[in-house]
Amino acid sequence: MYTQKVMDHFTNPRNVGEIENASGVGTVGNAKCGDIMRIYLDIDDNGIINDVKFKTFGCGAAVATSSMATELVKGKSVNEALKVTNKAVMEALDGLPPVKVHCSLLAEEAIHAALWDYAEKKGIQIEGLEKPKSDIHEGEEQIEY
Amino acid sequence: MYTQKVMDHFTNPRNVGEIENASGVGTVGNAKCGDIMRIYLDIDDNGIINDVKFKTFGCGAAVATSSMATELVKGKSVNEALKVTNKAVMEALDGLPPVKVHCSLLAEEAIHAALWDYAEKKGIQIEGLEKPKSDIHEGEEQIEY
Amino acid sequence: MENKIYLDNAATTKTRPEVVEAMLPYFTELYGNPSSVYEFANQNKKAVDEARKIIANALGADISEIYFTAGGSESDNWALKAAVDAYADKGNHIITSKIEHHAILHTCEYLEKHGVEVTYVDVDENGIIKLDQLEKAIRPTTILISVMFANNEIGTIQPIKEIGEIAKKHKIPFHTDAVQAFGHLDINVNDLGIDMLSASAHKLNGPKGIGFLYIRKGIKIRSLIHGGGQERQRRAGTENVPGIVGFGKAVELAMATMKERTEKEIKLRNLLMKRVLEEVPFVRVNGDKVKRLPNNVNFSFQFIEGESLLIMLDMNRICASSGSACTSGSLDPSHVLLAIGLPHEIAHGSLRLTLSEENTEEEINYTVDKIKEIVDKLRKMSPLYED
Amino acid sequence: MENKIYLDNAATTKTRPEVVEAMLPYFTELYGNPSSVYEFANQNKKAVDEARKIIANALGADISEIYFTAGGSESDNWALKAAVDAYADKGNHIITSKIEHHAILHTCEYLEKHGVEVTYVDVDENGIIKLDQLEKAIRPTTILISVMFANNEIGTIQPIKEIGEIAKKHKIPFHTDAVQAFGHLDINVNDLGIDMLSASAHKLNGPKGIGFLYIRKGIKIRSLIHGGGQERQRRAGTENVPGIVGFGKAVELAMATMKERTEKEIKLRNLLMKRVLEEVPFVRVNGDKVKRLPNNVNFSFQFIEGESLLIMLDMNRICASSGSACTSGSLDPSHVLLAIGLPHEIAHGSLRLTLSEENTEEEINYTVDKIKEIVDKLRKMSPLYED
Ligand SMILES: Cc1ncc(COP(=O)(O)O)c(C=O)c1O
Ligand SMILES: Cc1ncc(COP(=O)(O)O)c(C=O)c1O
Ligand code: FES
Ligand code: FES
The model's pLDDT over C101-158, given as tens digits with 9 standing for 90+, comes to 999 999 999 999 999 999 999 999 999 999 999 999 999 999 999 999 999 999 999 9
Q: Which chains touch C (3 or more CB pairs under 8 A)?
A: A, B, D
Q: Which chains touch B (3 or more CB pairs under 8 A)?
A: C, D
Q: Which atom of ligand 3 is nearest to the CA of A56?
A: 3
Q: How far is the CA of D73 from the centre of ligand 1 (A)?
A: 6
Atom number, ligand 4, closest to the C-alpha of residue B33: 2
What pLDDT was estimated at residue C242? 98
Domain A4-129 -> CATH class? alpha beta
Nearest residue to D48 via CA among D279, D238, D328, D291: D238
Residues B29/B109, Cβ–Cβ less than 8 Å:
no
CB under 6 Å to ligand 3: residues?
A 30, 33, 35, 58-59, 61-62, 100, 103, 106; D 331
- In this predicted structure, what is the pLDDT of residue C326? 54
- Does residue C200 register a pLDDT over 60? yes
D347 — pLDDT class (breaks 50, 70, 90): confident
**B51 in helix, strand or coil?**
strand
In this complex, the residue of C113, C304, C331 whose CB is nearest that of residue B57 is C304
Of ligand 3's listed atoms, the one at least distance from the Cα of A59 is 4
* Chain C contact for B60 (CB, 8 A cutoff): yes
Does the pLDDT of residue C387 top 70, yes or no? Answer: no
pLDDT tens digits for range C264-278? 999 999 999 999 999
Distance between D222 CA and the closest CA of chain B, angstroms: 5
Give residue B145's pLDDT: 59
> What is the count of residue pairs from B and C with beta carbons less than 8 Å apart?
58
Ligand nearest to the CA of C34: 1
State the pLDDT at residue D1: 42
Q: Give whole-number Cα distances, A41 to A53, A76, A77, A123, C168, in Å.
A: 7, 11, 11, 16, 60
pLDDT of res. C1: 41
Q: Is the CB of D101 under 6 A from ligand 1?
A: yes
Q: Would you tell me the crossing angle of helices C39-59 and C241-279 to the nearest 10 degrees?
A: 30
CA distance D363 to B6: 61
- From D334's Cα to the closest Cα of chain C, the distance in A is 13
Say how far apart CA B57 and CA C384 lie, in whole Å: 7
CA–CA min distance D37, chain C (Å): 7
Q: What is the count of residue pairs from B and D with beta carbons less than 8 Å apart?
A: 8
In three-state secondary structure terms, B29 is strand
* pLDDT tens, position by position, D99-122: 999 999 999 999 999 999 999 999
**Which residues of D are less than 8 Å from A60 in CB distance?**
307-308, 311
Q: Rounded to an integer, what is the distance from CA C357 to the centroid of its chain?
A: 18
Of D43, D109, D209, which has the smallest distance from its Cβ to C70's Cβ? Answer: D209
Is it the case that residue A72 has pLDDT exceeding 70? Answer: yes
Measured between alpha carbons, how far is A92 from C66 in angstroms, rounded to an integer? 32
pLDDT of residue C349: 84
**Residue A139 confidence (pLDDT):** 42
From the number of C-beta atoms within 10 Å of its C-beta (0-12, 13-18, 19+), residue B71 rates as: middle
Q: Which helix (H) or strand (E) holds C353?
A: strand C350-354
Q: Which of D174, D262, D200 is nearest to D55 (CA)?
A: D200
Active site residues of A: 33, 103
Q: Of residues A145 and D218, which shows the higher confidence score?
A: D218
In this predicted model, what pLDDT tens digit does every residue of D187-198 receive, in sequence order?
999 999 999 999
pLDDT at residue A53 is higher than 90 = yes
Q: pLDDT tens digits, residue range D246-263? A: 999 999 999 999 999 999
Catalytic residue (one of C311, C326, C381, C384): C326
Considering only B53-67, C323-337, C348-362, which range has the smallest mean pLDDT?
A: C323-337
Q: Domain extents for chain B?
A: 4-129
How high is the pLDDT of residue B141? 45
D24, D185, D271, D326: the catalytic one is D326
Which residues of chain A have a CB within 8 Å of the CB of C226? 145
Q: Could you identify the atom of ligand 2 that is nearest to the CA of residue D225?
A: 11
Non-local CB neighbours of C88 within 8 Å, separated by 6+ positions: none
Q: Does D136 touch chain C (CB under 8 A)?
A: no
Cα gap D168→C257, rounded to integer Å: 59
d(CA B66, CA B63): 5
- Relative to the CA of B32, which ligand 4 atom is closest? 2
**Cα(C19)–Cα(D32) distance, integer angstroms:** 17
The answer to whether the CB of D238 is under 6 A from ligand 2 is yes
Q: Is the CB of D237 under 6 A from ligand 2?
A: yes
All residues of chain C having their beta carbon less than 8 Å from the beta carbon of residue B56 are 381-383
Q: Which ligand is nearest to the CA of B63?
A: 4
Q: Is the pLDDT of residue D88 over 50?
A: yes
Residue nearest to atom 3 of ligand 4 (CA): B103
pLDDT tens for each residue of C254-264: 999 999 999 99
Q: Is the CB of C227 less than 8 angstroms away from the CB of D102?
A: yes
C interface with A, Cβ–Cβ below 8 Å: 37, 42, 86, 222-223, 226, 233
Longest dimension (CA), chain C: 74
Asked whether the predicted pLDDT for residue A132 surpasses 90, the reply is no
- Ligand found nearest the CA of D10: 1
ipTM computed for the complex = 0.92
The arithmetic mean of pLDDT across residues B89-116, rounded, is 92
Given CB atoms, is B5 within the 8 Å cutoff of chain C? no
User: DSSP letter at B132?
Assistant: P
Residue B112 Cα to ligand 1 middle (Å):
59
Which residue out of D203, D324, D328 has the highest number of ligand 1 atoms within 8 Å of its CB and is therefore the one to mutate? Answer: D203
- Tell whether C206 lies on the interface with D, counting CB pairs under 8 A: no
**SS3 of C207, please?**
coil
pLDDT at A143 over 60: no
Say yes or no for a CB contact (<8 Å) between A1 and C42. Answer: yes
Q: What is the mean pLDDT of residues C56-81?
A: 98
Of all residues in chain A, the percent with pLDDT exceeding 90 is: 72
> Does the pLDDT value for residue A6 go beyond 80?
yes
| D226–B144 CB contact, under 8 Å | no
For residue C211, the CA-to-ligand 2 centroid distance in Å is 10
Dist. CA C264 → ligand 2 center (Å): 24
CB C295 within 8 A of CB C356: yes
* C-beta B33 within 6 A of ligand 4: yes
List CB contacts (< 8 A) between D332 and chain A: 33
- Preferred mutation among D33, D36, D37 to probe B, highest tally of B CBs within 10 A: D37
- For position B51, what pLDDT does the model report? 97
Which residue from D274, D329, D273, D280 is spatially nearest to D154, judged by alpha carbons? D273
Q: Is the Cα dihedral D224, D227, D229, D231 positive or negative?
A: negative
Alpha-carbon distance D17 to D205, whole Å?
9
Say if residue B142's pLDDT is above 70.
no
Using CA atoms, how far apart are residues D326 and D333, in angstroms rounded to an integer? Answer: 13
Select the residue of C37, C222, C233 nearest A1 (Cβ to Cβ): C37
What is the tens place of the pLDDT at every residue in D125-181? 999 999 999 999 999 999 999 999 999 999 999 999 999 999 999 999 999 999 999
Instruction: Check D37 against B144: CB less than 8 A apart.
Output: no
What is the rounded CA–CA span in Å between residue D354 and residue D375?
19
